[in-house]
Structure 1
């Protein structure tokens, strides 16, 4: 690994600025929050490991360097989740399973780019899209983020809901030369983003925990950014990434002042569902409550 393996462009600048701001906010908030719980030293060592992986990833110019940073960052993210020792083993395994699945997709994409690119470029692109979907908590891997954020410290949740989720978008932006001339892949990215954004927006409206609402809101915005990337709007996607990260970090910090992250019941504004027949309204409500069965399906494979 040499200096020629890294490079500095607009994508790197945007993610570097967002990373610095979010990290400083996390350190400032964790200084007074984690000290009371006796977990500050453990958290800051893990944060340094996360920042190292994040930096290697955003400065990388090729998949093998990106994979090295990706592995470090994924391992550090898992440690950030389990800083809270009260997190149940099942939730630990679900997050770890999604990270490993994304790593496998990236590893296979790197291998296929060397051996199968000329014969089957679509395969490489699909593997990259799978990895990005897993990292950004998009379909069909959308159930791990709310569970991880809800059952971890707010300091860890800030990093997961801002920097970690947006790394899937970074992978799509960095790998755009692989798939930008493949209409089928662009359509797939757009469909994944649109469906995930619509579903996550519905899920968020029924949550009583502010942490879960922030998690679903971050997923919904990541889905919209997928749409922007598929349409080729790089600058808009980068601005959206920065705005979403700042907003989610602010919301998570403010959530600690609302009574253990619980959202008070407020009068709900009328929505388009109110115009549907009452039975269909109840059906949609139950589907949203059960999150389309995504979490239960994943739990079948990862029983605590």
Structure 2
């Protein structure tokens, strides 16, 4: 009972979330997906200046399935936390933050209004900051500040978009926006979504957020925080169709983020950062898919990605937890023999990530590549997407070769623990989803989006590019280290630093802002604003009060001085005014004489 009292919060939270997931899958999927119906429910609060202030709730196949997946992954994370956070004193506080995170995400999913969506949007930002700094050290604080500052940029852009939407008197998104500010509104929404989904140049905060506990990383980087920007762009897609320029920018930025994150993951050695960079790469792929005109396929990939990426994080967390908090890939190795269940599920999730046929990742990734081939896109964008798809297999194999099949360079076996039953159950649930999720969802998306017809040559190119990453495994197993050193040795620092995105969006922006704030504080707050503001006004008022007190002291000498000073001031003003008057009259007379219009003496 004592153990149940301490671990009751994560257990009850996981049971509650699993029940919500099952109920939503049984009733919601049948009532919305199978019947093909969508519902929009609105509650009107008040009517002001010709505008209805309402709380709309949208129930369609996207929101229902997305919420179901969020509850499933959150329940697995809570169950995983029973063993992972067993030594945590404030476990109830941790679970309260997790439940607040899940509630904010569900509010963002079901509310299609830009005004009310800010509740869920800001809730995600605030709770994510609290979760990233949960360990309360300098590294966590720096990562949390970078995370919250990047998210605040998106908040400000969404508020500006709401201000421009006042012209329409309507804040529900997803409808066509026409008018003078339509392109500007679409651009603000897209850039705001890019900040939340860590697209270039806002990519530095996502790897830095790995300072949070592993259950938080599994939840944040799979189905909640990072996918909020993608979900917002997909929901706003009906308005983005009126601004094809914005969609073009979105596709190019997504393709660059895909390649940048993939190359960085191929040169990283930290296990959690490799998985975080793979998340960033898949987010770039989703943004590219939306930009080229396939939002339905992007939603499909978002759901399948949530399943296998949460599984990948939980497997990595289990390995880190039972190997003495070791996550350096140069030390890890031999996990398949020491932790067979976690190692096997890590192999399964990595295979799903690289698009192994008939697993969940295969269905959505194949649809994206087929859409890129069959769509009216530029040749360079297609090449970039194919390169990004090939890189996914490379960094997936790096995870396996470092952690599962490689040689261990760590300490003795006494550092290793025994796999927990709670962790095994949570990992098993997500493993079933990673295997069957794509198969179960493909019927829904094929019926919605139809088929993309690609020729035999296109299919062959897709297969070749997808499995070209196997060359990396062959090179690594043959031990041809000289080839890899010559090939990527000089570019290693550039690639592993995410093309210096951390310096650009982190050190440069934050450093300039902090230095500017210190300079403004010294020169304005403690400088001119003190002279003309609080201290200056206080000094002037103090001098005036002292003079008034002196004038009212009642001494004869003081009254005489005041009288003489007053007389001198009055006479001085009189003489000055008289001089100005006669000088103006003299100038007028002189001008009249010059023009010959003077009829009286001046």
Matches within 5 A, 1:49-128: 49-86=100-137, 88=139, 89-115=141-167, 118-128=179-189
TM-score normalised according to structure 1 size: 0.91
Q: Is the 8 A contact 1:125 1:178 kept in 2?
A: yes
Q: CA RMSD in A?
A: 2.5
Bigger shift: 11-20 or 191-200?
11-20
Q: Is the 8 A contact 1:14 1:238 kept in 2?
A: no
Aligned to 1:154: 214
Moved more, 40-49 or 228-237: 228-237
TM-score under structure 2 length normalisation: 0.47
Residue 299 of structure 1: aligned partner? 507
Does the CA contact (< 8 Å) of 2:203 and 2:501 recur in 1?
Answer: yes
Q: How much does 1:177 deviate?
A: 1.8
Distance 1:241 1:294 in 2: 24
The 1:301/1:231 distance shift into structure 2, 3 A limit, reads closer
Judged with a 3 Å threshold, the aligned counterparts in structure 2 of structure 1 residues 249 and 50 are, in CA distance, closer, same or farther, namely same
The change in CA–CA distance for 1:61 and 1:261 in structure 2 (over 3 A counts) is same
Could you tell me which residue of structure 2 aligns to residue 133 of structure 1? 194
Does structure 2 conserve the Cα–Cα contact (< 8 Å) formed by 1:7 and 1:59? yes
Retained in 1: the 8 A contact 2:247–2:292? yes
How many residues align structurally?
A: 300
2:104–2:124: 8 Å Cα contact kept in structure 1? Answer: yes
The 2-side partners of 1:90 and 1:96 are apart by 10
TM-fit CA distance, 1:277:
12
CA distance in 2 between partners of 1:42 and 1:240 (Å): 33
Residue 199 (structure 1) aligned with residue 265 (structure 2): no
User: Structure 1 CA distance, aligned partners of 2:288 and 2:490?
Assistant: 28
Deviations 1:6-27 (A, max 9, x none): 1111221232122111111111
2:81 aligned partner: 30
Write out per-residue CA displacement over residues 9-50 of structure 1, whole angstroms, 9 at most, x where no aligned residue: 122123212211111111111122112132421211111211
Is 1:47 equivalent to 2:98 in the alignment? yes
Q: Which of 266, 270, 284 is equivalent to 1:209? A: 270
Deviation at 1:86, TM superposition (A): 2.9
- Say which structure, 1 or 2, has more relative contact order (CA 8 Å, 6+ apart): 1
Task: Please tell me whether the aligned partners of residues 129 and 145 of structure 2 are also in contact (alpha carbons under 8 angstroms).
Answer: no
- CA deviations 1:127-173 (Å, max 9, x no partner) are 11111111111111001011112x11001111221121111110001
Other-structure match for 2:328:
262
Q: Which deviations, in whole Å up to 9, do the C-alpha atoms of 1:99-142 show, x marking residues without a partner?
A: 11111111111111223861121111111111111111111100
Task: Return the offset for 1:78.
Answer: 1.2
Q: Distance in 1 between matches of 2:256 and 2:95?
A: 36
**Separation in structure 1 between the aligned mates of residue 328 and residue 310 of structure 2, nearest angstrom:** 17
Larger Rg: 2
Alpha-carbon offset, residue 301 of structure 1: 3.6
Give the conservation status (yes or no) of the 8 Å contact 1:125–1:185.
Answer: yes
Matched, 1:2 2:43: yes
Distance 2:484 2:91 in 1: 52
